[in-house]
Amino acid sequence: MDTDARRPEPALRPANGTPVGGRKPPRVRIIPGGPILVEGPVEVVLDDGATVTSDRFLVALCACRRSRAFPFCDTSHRRRVRTTPPDGETPA
């Protein structure tokens, strides 16, 4: 299998480095154990072909699929806080 076939083509840029069309490309950051941050606005295409849009300047996409607001992150990936003390202790 040719691995070069999967590489994306580089964006066309003039000699000064500014993207063609004057718009900078979206920036995507992957947070280990957390969401995928995308500089918005963004349009997300779901598995069934439906699209969800957000015009926010920064969008957090869920990577763990635990979010009730999927495809957007609602911080469900964070550890749950224990509501009862360990070993049957009573809270102060």
What digits encode the pLDDT tens for the residues 78-90?
765 555 666 666 6
Per-residue pLDDT band for 24 (boundaries 50, 70, 90) equals confident
pTM: predicted TM-score of the whole model, two decimal places: 0.58
SS3 62: coil
Report the pLDDT averaged over residues 72-81. Answer: 77
The pLDDT score that the predictor gives to residue 56 is: 92
**Residue pair 42/54 in contact by the 8 Å Cβ criterion:** yes
